[in-house]
Chain A
Amino acid sequence: MSEAKTETAPGTPGSGWNWKSWIQQGLAVGTLVMLFAFFSFMNPAFYGWSNISGILLATAGIGIMALGTTFVIATGGIDLSIGTGSTFAAVVVGVFGVNVGLPMWLALIIGVGAGALMGFINGFNVAFLRIPPFIATLAMMMVAQGLALILSDVAPIYFRDTPWFSQIALGNLIPGLPNGVLIMFVLVAISAFVLARTKFGRITLAIGSNVEATRLSGIPTKRWLVMIYTFAGMFTAVAGIVMASRLVSAQPQMGVGLELQAIAAVIIGGTSLMGGRASIVGTLIGALIMSTLINGLRIMGVQSEWQFVASGIVIALAVWVDSLRNRSKST
């Protein structure tokens, strides 16, 4: 998987052998391994497959969201609309697939299209209207939540009449592994490839490193930014569909608050909030760390209050390590 661990400046794509980058990756993996060892020691129920697959399934929604967001953050941007955006996409699938009665496969495509459209608008607002990404996507977060409530008429939309809908997340194409997790792994592979091996990935990182230099080298950065946000929007929609599948319903208030968990996963994984550096495998590990920590504390019967405290400390530590690295780079 070394090709996915990419640290690069414009013009040096895929030169991922920076030892500092490896330390960050190593820290993330090490944290995950330590968490596993600790919780397994505390309670053997933790490492049962039933629990492991539970952790993976709990990771799927946020993990898929975080993959798309990795690209946005790699450009030095941010996307706050992913939580409610995923809800909006799920509701769109419900409206077209259940209320309107279109074939479900078509509704799914429309749902992903709705996610892409949201991303497109985000990108357009950021690149062409020069609205700061934080504000542009905050606005989209509110619009998406409102539209999800309006379209759903503030009630859940149930997918009971399409029996295979729940199989999107809960079926087992690979015995024992929920399909939602499989989808996440496939998307990890795809986005790792796109980031490390394609022009799209190279330009994403180049924009994050130095947007001005990238533009001067003749790359139409605004158009690329729109494409990057659109690409991320599709991940948001898939995350929404996977979560809706798990609930066999589109819940209009489902994704509120998930955006910050997804962003935290991206940062823990070693992607820089400043842009220019990203790791897809890191994002996956970051998302796994978050859900493993919460699950393990629950298995131990630790109070919810302390689960929040522990998650907060892990996020703070991860970003601190990240800033240490940035500092050493600039001196």
Chain B
Amino acid sequence: MRKRKATVLLAGLSAAALALAGCANGDGGGDNGDNGDNGGGDGGYHIILVSKGFQHQFWQAVQAGAQEEADAQGVTMDFDGPASETQVDNQLQMLQTAIDSGPDAIGYAALDPEACLPLFDQAEAMDIPIVQFDAACNSEYGNYLAATDGVAAGALAAENMAEELGGEGTIGVVAHSQINSTSIERRDGFIDYMEENHPDIEIVDVQYGDGDHIESADIARAMINANPDLDGLYGTNEGSAIGIVNAISELGIDPGEIAVVGFDSGSAQIEAIQDGSMLGAVTQDPMEIGRLTIRNAIALIEGEELPEFTDTGSFWYDADNIDDEDIRQMIYE
């Protein structure tokens, strides 16, 4: 472990990486690093997950799910990810380090679907199985993705927004990225659903705030000021949605006057839904993404057939069903 830490340090992540390594080891434990070829069919595998991040509670839930499954199956799991979801370079470094350390399998969530191609070729050449989670690399190799169907999830958000607005009105979209596939799918799924089913609903503006709370709040304020009759705002991830909620409260607009639909959960968003400042949100099942990734990895190591894509599901929740047992399992504080 020590050696790996040092490498990551040199890669320029210094303290951030230490924090990560700290929490990745916390409950996983164990000696990995030098047990690359302990093949056997009875578990004991070493699987490295390279995530899109680790600070965001979503990724922590993915990690928790993966850890749970890893413990249940008796495999060792390491979890790595860059400090922010814009750091494509850093993430590729981590994937490189993961490949170099020769694990039994790698789980990868692509920040950029093309930049990962050379490393996937390398993994293929070294015969390291790859499974993918959340977002895929455009590679023929390792083409097994466990993720939320983002287009369906965006459409689910649109459906509930349209119902609240009674089929007509104006909506602004605060998305978190122009290049990230989850952001693109949730945006397009939402916009396409509106265009197909609700011609009287107009999307007046789409802006991008990197999922940053303050940036997204500033964007939402500008949208509301530019469009005083705005009926709805849609945030494509947790940070975007919280930014919208903050902007509305900063402007002193009554909660509920503008219908706000968000994504994922987190305690601030849960509270906003409970107190009525948010209509509701679409949640994925991050724990299941983590669990399925580990299951897929083990199946692949043992030579089983895997589907190219498994939808881990998306679910609408609002003040009415937020306390249901099956919803509670998917949202996180």
A149–B218 alpha-carbon span in the complex (Å): 25
Question: Given A50-B251, A57-B250, do A146 and B204 touch, yes or no (CB 8 Å)?
Answer: no
Interface check B319, CB cutoff 8 A: no
A151–B327 alpha-carbon span in the complex (Å): 30
Contact with A150, one of B15, B223, B250 (Cβ below 8 angstroms): B15
Interface residues of A in 175-191 (CB under 8 A from B): 178
A146 touches B14 (CB 8 A): yes
A291–B60 alpha-carbon span in the complex (Å): 33
Interface check A247, CB cutoff 8 A: yes
- B residues lining the A interface (CB < 8 Å): 14-16, 18-19, 22-23, 54-55, 57, 60, 83-84, 178, 204-205, 207-208, 212-214, 217-219, 221-223, 225-228, 242, 246, 250-251, 266-268
B204 to chain A, nearest CB (A): 7
Interface check A251, CB cutoff 8 A: yes
- A residues lining the B interface (CB < 8 Å): 43, 45-46, 48, 50-51, 54, 57-58, 61, 142-143, 145-147, 149-150, 153-156, 158, 170, 178, 243, 246-249, 251-254, 256, 291, 294-295, 298-301, 303-305
Contact with B19, one of A146, A243, A294, A295 (Cβ below 8 angstroms): A146
A275–B248 alpha-carbon span in the complex (Å): 42
A153–B267 alpha-carbon span in the complex (Å): 16
- List, in ascending order, chain A residues with CB within 8 A of B219's CB: 298
A50–B221 alpha-carbon span in the complex (Å): 9
A45 touches B55 (CB 8 A): no
B60 touches A154 (CB 8 A): yes
**A154, A156, A246, A291 — most chain B CB neighbours (10 Å):** A154
- List, in ascending order, chain B residues with CB within 8 A of A143's CB: 14-15
- List, in ascending order, chain B residues with CB within 8 A of A178's CB: 250
Question: Given A150-B22, A247-B246, A253-B83, do A61 and B16 touch, yes or no (CB 8 Å)?
Answer: no
- List, in ascending order, chain A residues with CB within 8 A of B214's CB: 58, 61, 243, 246-247, 254
A253–B218 alpha-carbon span in the complex (Å): 17
B16 touches A146 (CB 8 A): yes
9 inter-chain pairs at a CB distance below 8 angstroms, sorted by A residue, are: A50-B221, A54-B218, A147-B15, A154-B60, A247-B213, A247-B214, A247-B242, A253-B55, A301-B226
Interface of B is mostly: helix
Question: Given A50-B251, A142-B15, A146-B14, do A298 and B22 touch, yes or no (CB 8 Å)?
Answer: no
Question: Given A43-B226, A150-B15, A154-B23, do A298 and B83 touch, yes or no (CB 8 Å)?
Answer: no
Q: Closest chain A residue to B247 by CB distance?
A: A54
Q: Closest chain B residue to A243 by CB distance?
A: B214
B222 touches A246 (CB 8 A): no
Contact with A142, one of B16, B208, B227, B242 (Cβ below 8 angstroms): B16
- A-B pair count, CB < 8 Å, reads 106
Q: Closest chain A residue to B217 by CB distance?
A: A246
Q: Closest chain A residue to B14 by CB distance?
A: A142
A58–B222 alpha-carbon span in the complex (Å): 11
Sample of 9 more A-B contacts, CB < 8 Å, known A54-B222, A57-B250, A142-B15: A51-B221, A54-B225, A149-B16, A154-B55, A156-B268, A247-B214, A301-B204, A301-B205, A304-B178
A46–B227 alpha-carbon span in the complex (Å): 11
A149–B84 alpha-carbon span in the complex (Å): 12
- List, in ascending order, chain A residues with CB within 8 A of B225's CB: 45-46, 48, 50-51, 54, 299
A150–B214 alpha-carbon span in the complex (Å): 22
A294 to chain B, nearest CB (A): 8
**A54, A57, A145, A178 — most chain B CB neighbours (10 Å):** A54
B217 touches A154 (CB 8 A): no
Minimum-distance CB pairs A-B, first 7:
A146-B15, A298-B222, A51-B225, A149-B19, A54-B221, A304-B208, A299-B226
- List, in ascending order, chain A residues with CB within 8 A of B208's CB: 304
A304–B178 alpha-carbon span in the complex (Å): 9
A269–B42 alpha-carbon span in the complex (Å): 66
Q: Closest chain B residue to A57 by CB distance?
A: B250
Question: Given A51-B225, A247-B246, A249-B268, do A254 and B213 touch, yes or no (CB 8 Å)?
Answer: yes
A298–B242 alpha-carbon span in the complex (Å): 19
A156–B212 alpha-carbon span in the complex (Å): 13
A256 touches B22 (CB 8 A): no
